[in-house]
Amino acid sequence: MKPQTVIVIGAGVGGIVAATHLAQRGLNVTVLEKNSHAGGRCDRFSCEGHHFDAGPTLLVMPLLYEAEFAALGASLREILDLQRVDPTYHLAFDDGSQLALTSDMKSMQEQLEAFEPGSFQGLLRYMAEGRRHYDLGMEKLVNRDFRNATDFFRLSNLPLAFKLKPFTRHYRNMSAYFDDPRLKSAFTFQDVYMGLSPFEAPATFSMMSYTELAHGVWYPKGGMYSIVEALVALAQRAGVAFEFDASVERIDVNRDQARGVILTDGRQLKAEAVLANADLPYVYRDLLPQDGESERLARKRFSCSVISFFWGVDKPYAKLPPHTLFLADDYRDNFKSIIRDLDLPANPSLYVHAPARLDPSMAPEGQDTIIAIVPVGHLSENGEQDWAKIRDEARQHVFRRLRSLGTADLEEHIKFEVNYTPLSWRKRYNLMKGSTHGLCHNLTQLAYFRPHNKHSRYHNLYFVGASTHPGTGIPTAFVSGRLSAQRIIDDLNSQS
């Protein structure tokens, strides 16, 4: 019997993972990717011997990676050459104080006590809560497929409403552990990864700072793109076919099913199932017939965006740590400005990454490769944001911040610059509103309330990736890929 065919739209991490699971189960899988190579947001480019991870720079939640590579029949440690980054981040505050987040508890104790006497005990209690949230959250929310309302609204899930503190705001919850606002921000800034402000994020997300300190932040040799290379090799070994520069124009549907896809080059491909890895709100708006759902999705909350600067510089900055985070005093206003005003804050918090500190091959000898990421609002509906002006302001903020750490001459040593604004994110990966993390992870867009991995009307159309369950991030994209592939396999089995 001819194997059943699945078309995957997009070669992002979720798409490749799902495709591999499906091919390993004997299905005939083709991945269509509009760009010239795989990876989606987990992208890479090189210029004059400088190598840049264009999206993710942090391998977090290593236990999830281990489990998900194992589910694909591979070993994380054999496939990737990993090194632990410790201290994880160097935090720099407006008043000149610094904090190196490290798993070395003696060093943490000394540093924290200098900020606020007694705060080390606060950290230990906060980590204990983070661990509870991580363990429960992984088991009950992330690794679960909520196919029906009853999978979520069940008596056994009721204690989660207390144990995971979903109704307590993360920042407010920090008062139970620290008084010093710098420490409150040091252990909540990770909420930005979820597209959220700590002033509105559920306290559940203490799981993020917990996993970073307890399980570590890691770096694969060759950069984050080596994860994509490993995944593509696994997919090809399983028999997945990839077509690059293959942009899908629309999904071919009839009343209640997807028949295949139509590409921009006019080709029509048929399939028993279609799995969309392209960002979900974009798929509803651009690839499916309009039935009101697209407008409903557009009204949902989207995560912020970022302006990224990629610099090749002609001298090494050996003192610049791999991950530096500048956290602004006006922490609350920063989030207000980004999330509510869709703007660049007056004094933005920002992140600088120097990958050659971890892997010298990321820059030519005697030179350096530097990435700066400045969070900003996503694209507004009225299109009035002046991105060239905002980008230029953001660049000056990076130089100003680096000067405060003693790196005063970076601007003079830049050989070339590549930069991405929200317009670039939209264009490169079809991300609606240029929102780098897709739909954000507030309470009404989490777990059962997040868009499901299957379309409610077209019974053989499925979704995978950041704006679907369980959410944004590379490890979660692995989970999303596995869950959506299982769903397809279960449905096809039940039909045959």
Ligand X SMILES: Cc1cc2nc3c(=O)[nH]c(=O)nc-3n(C[C@H](O)[C@H](O)[C@H](O)COP(=O)(O)OP(=O)(O)OC[C@H]3O[C@@H](n4cnc5c(N)ncnc54)[C@H](O)[C@@H]3O)c2cc1C
Q: Is 247 in the site for ligand X (CB under 6 A)?
A: yes
CB 487 within 8 A of CB 466: no
Closest CA to 230 of 392, 115, 59, 75: 75
Nearer to ligand X, 166 or 281 (CB): 281
Nearer to ligand X, 50 or 165 (CB): 50
Helix (H, G, I), strand (E, B) or coil at 127: helix
CA 197 distance to own-chain centroid: 15
Query: Applying CB under 6 A, which of residues 58, 227, 352, 356 lies at the interface with ligand X?
Result: 58
Query: Applying CB under 6 A, which of residues 19, 23, 29, 40 lies at the interface with ligand X?
Result: 40
Query: Applying CB under 6 A, which of residues 206, 430, 435, 460 lies at the interface with ligand X?
Result: 430
CB 341 within 8 A of CB 377: yes
Q: Is 130 in the site for ligand X (CB under 6 A)?
A: no
Nearer to ligand X, 61 or 112 (CB): 61
Interface segment toward ligand X; rule CB under 6 A; list 31-39, 75-83, 89-97, 195-203: 31-39
Q: Is 32 in the site for ligand X (CB under 6 A)?
A: yes
Structure tokens at 187: 């252990």
Closest separation in Å from C-beta 232 to ligand X: 12
Helix (H, G, I), strand (E, B) or coil at 156: helix
CB within 8 Å of 197: residues ≥ 6 apart: 191, 335, 336, 338, 339
Q: Is 320 in the site for ligand X (CB under 6 A)?
A: no
Nearer to ligand X, 112 or 358 (CB): 358
Query: Applying CB under 6 A, which of residues 4, 30, 35, 173 lies at the interface with ligand X?
Result: 35
Task: Give the residue nearest to ligand X (CB).
Answer: 12
In the block, tokens 């970073």 appear at 212
Q: Is 424 in the site for ligand X (CB under 6 A)?
A: no
φ, ψ at 140 (rounded to 5°): -95, -25
Closest separation in Å from C-beta 303 to ligand X: 9
Binders of ligand X among residues 249 to 278 (CB under 6 A) are 277-278
Rounding to the nearest 10 degrees, give the CA dihedral for residues 133, 136, 142, 145: -150
Q: Is 14 in the site for ligand X (CB under 6 A)?
A: yes
Q: Is 436 in the site for ligand X (CB under 6 A)?
A: yes
Q: Is 195 in the site for ligand X (CB under 6 A)?
A: no
φ, ψ at 184 (rounded to 5°): -60, -40
Q: Is 473 in the site for ligand X (CB under 6 A)?
A: yes
Q: H or E segment at 37?
A: none
- What does 349-391 look like in DSSP terms, one character per residue? -EEEE-GGGT-GGGS-TT-EEEEEEEEE----TT----HHHHH
Q: Is 466 in the site for ligand X (CB under 6 A)?
A: yes
Q: Is 4 in the site for ligand X (CB under 6 A)?
A: no
Binding site for ligand X (CB under 6 A): 9-15, 32-35, 40-42, 55-58, 60, 247-248, 277-279, 306, 308, 429-430, 436, 465-466, 472-474, 477
